Amino acid sequence: MTLTEILEAFRSGTLSPEEAEAAITGRFFRQIGHSTVDTDRTRRTGAHEVIYGEYKTPAQIADLVATMHDTDQNVMVTRTTAAAHEAVVRIAPEARFHADARLITSVRHPVAVKTTRVAVVTAGTSDLPVAEEAALTAEFFGSPVTRINDVGVAGVHRLLARVEEIRAARVVVVVAGMEGALPSVVGGLVDKPVIAVPTSIGYGASFSGITALLGMLNSCASGVSVVNIDNGFGAGFLANMINGL
Amino acid sequence: MTLTEILEAFRSGTLSPEEAEAAITGRFFRQIGHSTVDTDRTRRTGAHEVIYGEYKTPAQIADLVATMHDTDQNVMVTRTTAAAHEAVVRIAPEARFHADARLITSVRHPVAVKTTRVAVVTAGTSDLPVAEEAALTAEFFGSPVTRINDVGVAGVHRLLARVEEIRAARVVVVVAGMEGALPSVVGGLVDKPVIAVPTSIGYGASFSGITALLGMLNSCASGVSVVNIDNGFGAGFLANMINGL
Amino acid sequence: MTLTEILEAFRSGTLSPEEAEAAITGRFFRQIGHSTVDTDRTRRTGAHEVIYGEYKTPAQIADLVATMHDTDQNVMVTRTTAAAHEAVVRIAPEARFHADARLITSVRHPVAVKTTRVAVVTAGTSDLPVAEEAALTAEFFGSPVTRINDVGVAGVHRLLARVEEIRAARVVVVVAGMEGALPSVVGGLVDKPVIAVPTSIGYGASFSGITALLGMLNSCASGVSVVNIDNGFGAGFLANMINGL
Amino acid sequence: MTLTEILEAFRSGTLSPEEAEAAITGRFFRQIGHSTVDTDRTRRTGAHEVIYGEYKTPAQIADLVATMHDTDQNVMVTRTTAAAHEAVVRIAPEARFHADARLITSVRHPVAVKTTRVAVVTAGTSDLPVAEEAALTAEFFGSPVTRINDVGVAGVHRLLARVEEIRAARVVVVVAGMEGALPSVVGGLVDKPVIAVPTSIGYGASFSGITALLGMLNSCASGVSVVNIDNGFGAGFLANMINGL
Amino acid sequence: MTLTEILEAFRSGTLSPEEAEAAITGRFFRQIGHSTVDTDRTRRTGAHEVIYGEYKTPAQIADLVATMHDTDQNVMVTRTTAAAHEAVVRIAPEARFHADARLITSVRHPVAVKTTRVAVVTAGTSDLPVAEEAALTAEFFGSPVTRINDVGVAGVHRLLARVEEIRAARVVVVVAGMEGALPSVVGGLVDKPVIAVPTSIGYGASFSGITALLGMLNSCASGVSVVNIDNGFGAGFLANMINGL
Amino acid sequence: MTLTEILEAFRSGTLSPEEAEAAITGRFFRQIGHSTVDTDRTRRTGAHEVIYGEYKTPAQIADLVATMHDTDQNVMVTRTTAAAHEAVVRIAPEARFHADARLITSVRHPVAVKTTRVAVVTAGTSDLPVAEEAALTAEFFGSPVTRINDVGVAGVHRLLARVEEIRAARVVVVVAGMEGALPSVVGGLVDKPVIAVPTSIGYGASFSGITALLGMLNSCASGVSVVNIDNGFGAGFLANMINGL
Amino acid sequence: MTLTEILEAFRSGTLSPEEAEAAITGRFFRQIGHSTVDTDRTRRTGAHEVIYGEYKTPAQIADLVATMHDTDQNVMVTRTTAAAHEAVVRIAPEARFHADARLITSVRHPVAVKTTRVAVVTAGTSDLPVAEEAALTAEFFGSPVTRINDVGVAGVHRLLARVEEIRAARVVVVVAGMEGALPSVVGGLVDKPVIAVPTSIGYGASFSGITALLGMLNSCASGVSVVNIDNGFGAGFLANMINGL
Amino acid sequence: MTLTEILEAFRSGTLSPEEAEAAITGRFFRQIGHSTVDTDRTRRTGAHEVIYGEYKTPAQIADLVATMHDTDQNVMVTRTTAAAHEAVVRIAPEARFHADARLITSVRHPVAVKTTRVAVVTAGTSDLPVAEEAALTAEFFGSPVTRINDVGVAGVHRLLARVEEIRAARVVVVVAGMEGALPSVVGGLVDKPVIAVPTSIGYGASFSGITALLGMLNSCASGVSVVNIDNGFGAGFLANMINGL
């Protein structure tokens, strides 16, 4: 029953007030002990919930995976571990673990692949785990991804050599630590939205990514916005959302 | 001459190396004393330069406006003053000053208006100047804007009542100071990219917008990215860029 | 002897100055080597001392538990460990360990249970340990607790569905990490005091709870006050105190 | 029409869907150009909206005062100026300006005065403006206030001499700048909730109130919670809310 | 040879310029591979060097102890470990390890004991290690110490009961974590210099002692100065220096 | 009547309880509207209260000066203005204004001058106002002061040339902005307590004195303690207190 | 007399000890009331003192200029004003005021001009005042300067077009605000030392230059070092020193 | 083929456009899976790339070492481990591991040794690992190094005794933790560029090197610039670059 059907059934008296309330509530979330799963998210935001794996036990994660597969959704778990994957794979044998990106993905319903691409660009090799989190997230939701690694600003010719590949994408994710200058340079070279992801790569006055974050927020290039430090997932999710507009 | 034409002319000997270099350079930037105007930006990024008005004298701004009109571009000046407008209007009588948003716009070539919309949403009345900067920027570059004001989270029903208007836009700019919670709530209600703009509105531990900025960067909703504190221009520019994809 | 009796005895000469001083002092604190137990706290503040377990050895904690049971008080130990519980249970077999909340409680004198309730609300599953610290503390001091979990602002309908339960309480504790926006939304929906507890849940620019703390301090809703990061005990104690007014 | 009446009228067909929607909306907020007045707040939170005066022009404030009086509410404006009062007094002659506390109050409907009291305690003379904001807010909403000034911890006997007055109140607001130690001492002496208000009084490493704020958040006394720096209004509002439970 | 004797010998020709230089240098420091021991410090500052144990290996520490005993000095090592003590005790059997305070002391030449006392006061039991570092340092340099523990401001009567003991000392060290309020209260009660030592005791917004440090720097009491977080050594050293004036 | 006399009079019945209370209270503080003057401070701390002039109106300051002169105390006002001096001089013609140090002093009872000296040393000319606040405070309370200016570490020979003058004092106040290194160098050259005063002199990353403050707190020299940024008064007061031991 | 001559005169008895001391001291510094002029600096560091103009009155500055001209030195005053220039020009008619750079220079002895150059590069027009301070300082001490303005990273082709000019210099000063990324890009393109100068240009999360400073400290390019925010003088001084090696 | 030869070959038709592009690209960088090695850096910056070892696995490091040796370059790896050295030594038997400095160096082509020297000066023994990183880096690139250890400002005579050795170098690296004052004192004593390296040595308010960093940025001495906390490599690289000018 759609919401309209429920309301009509309530007006016509087919449903009692209590039945209407239960029917309506059931459409929006489901409580499973420790969590309140948001089953309405796809309708509202165009994409279902993703499981934030940090702080959760393997058993809790496996519970949540089971619940989501029960409602016919593909599952992604972020910031998770091999131990959690072991628990998940028992109930979802198709689940894969991406160690670098710390992601579990379990895909039962192939997602339509878009025709336009997302570019994921890194400043240095050490930024790859966060970049992979972004790239795999975009792919999980249906965006093809072009990966361009280790083209930081200290050797700007490496970037210039690959500008055409970047310009060929519909949206660009730029991942950088240390001084976080790459998004500014990329933003000045392309006519596409740039999503900047600061990473915690660096030492001393990099302050675990704060310097990169601040640099990106103050970018002198237009068309750049920023997500949280090491938030590859958020960047990949947003990139796919923009790519799908 | 396009760049290809210049290169061909060089290969065929019509242009000497010096002439080729001058021709090429001229296509990319122009030096006017205190500034190096980036005349290649439209080709690279899809939008021409905008004049950052802060720290510049009215005379410098008028110079830059003249230079840009000379190259047939519309002009926008951000973070500027009535005094600068007085200087500009002498050489560009059509220039308008938007006092709240601290913008000068001077439009000589009407820009094509897109069919999809940008929504600009504020948490409180005090956020309006920054929101107007975002809205006027998006309009300047061709995006129709839906304005929704004063729907902060302390009275969340005000927001819920207007969700449909927000969902009708292709991209949403959310402007908030104090705790900066509104983008999270909006992000959980729509399936469109949300560009969050923290404002310096607040006192005490709002730290001139830092609290709002941090809140937005840690948004538990997906699809949210952030620009600098009070950076309405950046948000409006990016919103229009996404809207035009 | 009450303080008045001591003073009268001193005026009448029954007590020498030295005896009076000793009698008065004995009513106020007791020194046990490493600590100065505040035995007057119940008279002054309406509730006896609680043992702060961090930095203390199991042996020191067991000592303090013994001292407090000697003066007929129930005992609560916060921020403690299973090892400490093992030491305590030898001298206080009824002592229970609440692993999630890191609390030991040892109740020898049943406390009167109030008729009005405290609501403890969390934004996410990861906030549960701090929320349990708050809830168990309120219960230890005699307040019934309504627990409402995982209703963060990214799916605000989950919260709206349970507003009536929250409004039924006399005071509300709201526990949230990341951007810490939930207390503002709750504060705008209820007519009861809201005690906001920031948690250290999050990553990157959450700065171990600073972002949530700042967000809560800048809440645009009225009736909200804040305690230290992860201070579930403080919130539960204050909630019970307000509930008992 | 109450909400129930509207819904019944809709079910019975007296109201069309459009009319029902308008009626419902009208009960919740009212849009006046620059603002969205929350007319439902009293029902939800037990107290109507208060006008935050900072950043608003005298004309905007006068508009909002008029709107609120139209809906039969008393009006309070915080962080405002004598200039705003001049604008307000033309349309609300009974409006008073409290210069120290920077408040305008305009009371048309006498509010019931509670029988229990709020104590407002300051550490130093310089904290008085914030304390007055708290005290006047509590009085505006119906709480009698006991004022105790200049009893900071550097001369703790001044505080001890007045403990009984403080203990006679049902809730205590403690206002302090510099090191912000007073709430801890008071919290250790009373059995009532203590609302701590850090002020921006001090210099150097007081960092405009941050030091006092941090000190209060780390209070070793139980029963203490904290509001934003200089937020006398928030403390007074919450004190009255607790006092009215 | 004293410096004067060396200079006279140089003027009279008994010493060549090279010999004079060597003699002078030898009086001031001695180089032992990894370190430049300051052998002139007693003359200049009234007290010999103390070995800062952190970051040094047990072998390096034993080397330095041997060098200092060679020049007839007593030895103290701060921030050190049981492993270092094992290395030291082989060459200096009288060396003692104070585990709580993380100090090694090796006394070969009894130091004259002063007739006036230093008081070391703590806010809580958890502050004891830092307080012991202060107390043992003062004793090492010849000051008798009065220890007063666990008299924090949340139960201010515990402090008031012991004010006379504190006032009997010539200088007072006050050690406190969390909000760091105790030095202000003590400073308002005594007519002696108060050396405030912030400790890293606390959690959340105590920021490993920053809050206590800031509180102490902003003390509203006069006669209070502050040393680094957890710097018990510095406080004890200064207390003894003042005590010996 | 001394406190003992009051108590005896109470025990003997000469004073009723009410009279005893009034007599006791009167000895400790006096309330004059906006302030609670601490009249007991000399007994407790060896020095009477000093008026903190910031945030107070000239009229309030004049009131406080009058009250203090009424109780036969000399008066010092810190952080004050020429306007306040004009108000004070009407009731206390002998009051002097020290413009650089922003102090008013009004001495009616000559204070005994000590035989030992305080040295006040500055790193640069710009530190003089804070240094003068320290020097004048020490003189006000009876310590002769040796002033040594502009001997910062960038030309360390200037300092070395004057070490003997510094060593001749009993306690040393060192005032420095920017990197705040001077106290470490002085502390390594003298055998007297060094009170370090960071100043807000500097720009950029001096952060209004935070850098100097941090540098001083981390001094590698022993015998150094620190007061708040620009707190010349606190340093001078403490220096005199130590000088008088 | 050179120092050697003085010492020999002392050994031979021509100078008494007092005369020797006076002669030696006179060679090193000179005291003029408020300041201790370091007359030995040229010998030690290769360049005489420069007057830091901030916080000094025009009269004080004129005094210092006169003293320095008396010792035959050229004079530079930094962070100064037109008012100071008016005072200086009365005693040093040749003194020039550079308004943008806030410098006074008074050159009486032409300095030898080096054959190698310093390049001063800015990211944006707003960085010009700081860049001019650097350039004029380098010129004052004898380095020819190549100025390259407004070549920030958002239009990196502007920079690439001028790399050869930059590479022709012996040392490069790079001046940038906002995200401060330009030194990294320049550092990756040249084989010369890069001195990075962060400026306070920007808004919001640029934090008055902190973001640029942090970005530069974390530069991924080698050969980059950093000076204080807005410290054009320091960069120009160091550039000339390196250029003169 | 040089770039000119490639271009000529392209103009003459010997190379097709595709061949020219491949030839040009090959001269600038080489992609090896996870990294984009910058093979053009020596031409541009005068020194080849150095491998940043942190975050990289031993296998990745060995790969990169092999690639660099293939192109006939010497290899240095920073911030690395004994485990990485074990992997490297299998393919480059001459590779040495410097445990303190955490460096691997593998030299196949002896580098020309310069005739001028670099001085590396430390404030304390604990600063040695960072100083060794600087010294070994300078030596790796061909600069002889003078090492001067443990001459911090608390015993300034130790430094003064060695000033001539320092002045004999062409550029000075000064390494210090805690308050970071040594570069200011050295900068005031020498006429050479001073590169200041803050270290993370210290505790409490040293904030892992932030205090030392800030102190150095605010140095009152001229000729001082700063690199990141613990960045011995950067300082040694820059020192050698300046030394080679």
- Alpha-carbon distance C225 to nearest alpha carbon in chain D (angstroms): 5
Instruction: Give the confidence band of B83 by pLDDT, cuts at 50, 70, 90.
Output: very high
Chain H interface mutation, best of E28, E29, E35, E36, highest count of H Cβ atoms under 10 Å: E36
Is the per-residue pLDDT at A184 higher than 90?
yes
pLDDT at D24: 64
> Does C183 lie in the same domain as C89?
no
Half-sphere exposure at residue B52, Cβ-oriented, CA atoms within 13 angstroms: 19
Chain B residues near any Cβ of chain C (below 8 Å)? 123-124, 152-156, 160, 178-181, 184-185, 187-189, 202, 204-207, 210-212, 214-222
Are A103 and A135 contacting, i.e. CB atoms less than 8 angstroms apart?
A: no
Instruction: Give the confidence band of E160 by pLDDT, cuts at 50, 70, 90.
Output: confident
- Alpha-carbon distance H125 to nearest alpha carbon in chain E (angstroms): 6
* E72 burial via Cβ count (<10 Å: 0-12, 13-18, 19+): exposed
> Does D122 lie in the same domain as D52?
no
List C-alpha distances in Å: G73 to A153, B191, E94, G68, G108. Answer: 44, 70, 62, 6, 8
pLDDT at H32: 66
Q: Which span out of A22-31, C37-46, F22-31, G182-191 was modeled with the highest average pLDDT?
A: G182-191
* Cβ <8 Å between G222 and H234: yes
List C-alpha distances in Å: A111 to A106, A120, D207. Answer: 12, 20, 53
pLDDT at E157: 81
Mean pLDDT is lowest, of B50-59, D154-163, F193-202, for: D154-163
Mean pLDDT of chain D: 89
pLDDT at F76: 95
pLDDT at G181: 93
Instruction: Give the confidence band of F139 by pLDDT, cuts at 50, 70, 90.
Output: very high
Mean pLDDT of chain F: 89
Is the per-residue pLDDT at A22 higher than 70?
no
d(CA F189, CA H130): 28
Is the per-residue pLDDT at G9 higher than 90?
no
Mean pLDDT of chain E: 89
A57: Cβ–Cβ under 8 A, 6 or more apart, which residues?
none
d(CA H29, CA H48): 12
Mean pLDDT is lowest, of A21-35, E163-177, F90-104, H43-57, for: A21-35
F77: Cβ–Cβ under 8 A, 6 or more apart, which residues?
F50, F51, F53, F61, F64, F65, F84, F88, F103, F104, F105
pLDDT at C182: 95
d(CA B211, CA B226): 13
> Does E234 lie in the same domain as E148?
yes
Instruction: Give the confidence band of A24 by pLDDT, cuts at 50, 70, 90.
Output: low
Mean pLDDT of chain C: 89
- pLDDT digits over D109-159, tens only? 889 999 999 999 999 989 999 999 999 999 999 999 999 999 988 888 888
- Alpha-carbon distance A144 to nearest alpha carbon in chain C (angstroms): 27
Other C-beta atoms lying within 10 Å of the C-beta of residue G197? 36
- pLDDT digits over G138-171, tens only? 999 999 999 999 998 888 888 888 889 999 999 9
- pLDDT digits over C73-83, tens only? 899 999 999 99
Percent of chain F with pLDDT over 70: 89
* Residues of A in Cβ contact (< 8 Å) with G219: 154, 178-179
Are G29 and F158 contacting, i.e. CB atoms less than 8 angstroms apart?
A: yes
- pLDDT digits over G38-48, tens only? 767 777 777 77
Buried b (16+ CB within 10 A) or exposed e, F172-208: bbbbbbbbbbbbbbbbbbbbbbbbbbbbbbbbbbbbb
pLDDT at E113: 95
d(CA C176, CA C192): 18
Is the per-residue pLDDT at F157 higher than 90?
no
> Does H122 lie in the same domain as H238?
yes
Residue in B closest to G204 by C-alpha: B229
Physical contact, C and G (3 or more Cβ pairs within 8 A):
no
> Does C43 lie in the same domain as C27?
no
Name the amino acid, one letter, at A177: G
> Does G146 lie in the same domain as G88?
no
* Residues of H in Cβ contact (< 8 Å) with G166: none
pLDDT at C94: 94
Instruction: Give the confidence band of F97 by pLDDT, cuts at 50, 70, 90.
Output: very high
- pLDDT digits over H116-160, tens only? 999 999 999 899 999 999 999 999 999 999 999 999 888 888 888
pLDDT at A16: 76
Mean pLDDT is lowest, of B106-115, D159-168, E13-22, for: E13-22
D87-105 average pLDDT score: 96
E88-103 average pLDDT score: 96
Residue in G closest to A219 by C-alpha: G179
G176: Cβ–Cβ under 8 A, 6 or more apart, which residues?
G122, G123, G124, G127, G152, G182, G183, G196, G197, G198, G199, G212, G216
Is the per-residue pLDDT at E220 higher than 90?
no
* Cβ <8 Å between E227 and F234: no
D201-207 average pLDDT score: 94
Output the domain CATH number for residue H135: 3.40.50.1970
Instruction: Give the confidence band of H25 by pLDDT, cuts at 50, 70, 90.
Output: low
Q: How many domains, chain B? A: 3
Instruction: Give the confidence band of D92 by pLDDT, cuts at 50, 70, 90.
Output: very high
Domain span including residue G43: 35-110
Q: Which of C40, C55, C200 sits opposite E157 (nearest CB)?
A: C40
E178-190 average pLDDT score: 92
> Does A196 lie in the same domain as A88?
no
Is the per-residue pLDDT at B26 higher than 60?
no
Mean pLDDT of chain B: 89
Q: Please name the helix (run of DSSP H) or strand (run of DSSP E) that holds residue G122, with its range, or none.
A: strand G118-122
> Does A199 lie in the same domain as A125?
yes
> Does E130 lie in the same domain as E74?
no
Is the per-residue pLDDT at C15 higher than 60?
yes
Comparison of pLDDT for G188 and A209, the residue scoring more = A209
pLDDT at G80: 96
* Cβ <8 Å between A45 and B223: yes
* Residues of C in Cβ contact (< 8 Å) with E203: 54, 79, 228-231
Is the per-residue pLDDT at C242 higher than 60?
yes
Residue in D closest to B156 by C-alpha: D38
Last residue of a domain, one of C57, C90, C110: C110
- pLDDT digits over C18-31, tens only? 676 666 665 566 66
Q: Which of D160, D178, D220 sits opposite E153 (nearest CB)?
A: D220
Chain A residues near any Cβ of chain C (below 8 Å)? 25, 28-29, 34-36, 38, 40-41, 52, 54-56, 60, 79, 198, 200, 209-210, 213, 228-231
Comparison of pLDDT for B40 and G218, the residue scoring more = G218
d(CA D22, CA H225): 67
Is the per-residue pLDDT at C107 higher than 90?
yes
- pLDDT digits over D21-44, tens only? 666 665 566 666 677 777 777 777
d(CA A133, CA E236): 52
d(CA C168, CA C117): 8
E69-91 average pLDDT score: 93
Percent of chain A with pLDDT over 90: 65
Q: Using DSSP, state whether D226 is helix, strand or coil.
A: strand
Q: How many residues does chain A have?
A: 245
F215: Cβ–Cβ under 8 A, 6 or more apart, which residues?
F179, F180, F181, F184, F198, H179, H180, H181, H211, H214, H215
Percent of chain C with pLDDT over 70: 89
Residue carrying the six token digits 């206590």:
E212
> Does D122 lie in the same domain as D223?
yes
pLDDT at H3: 58
- pLDDT digits over B146-172, tens only? 999 999 888 888 888 888 999 999 999
Q: How many residues does chain H have?
A: 245
Q: The complex's ipTM? A: 0.89
pLDDT at E20: 67
> Does A239 lie in the same domain as A136?
yes
- Alpha-carbon distance G213 to nearest alpha carbon in chain A (angstroms): 9
- Alpha-carbon distance H148 to nearest alpha carbon in chain E (angstroms): 9
Instruction: Give the confidence band of F28 by pLDDT, cuts at 50, 70, 90.
Output: low
Chain F interface mutation, best of H122, H126, H151, H153, highest count of F Cβ atoms under 10 Å: H153
> Does D43 lie in the same domain as D58?
yes
- Alpha-carbon distance G13 to nearest alpha carbon in chain A (angstroms): 58
Is the per-residue pLDDT at A141 higher than 80?
yes
Residue in D closest to E203 by C-alpha: D218
pLDDT at A67: 86
pLDDT at E21: 65
Q: How many residues does chain F have?
A: 245
Is the per-residue pLDDT at C231 higher than 70?
yes
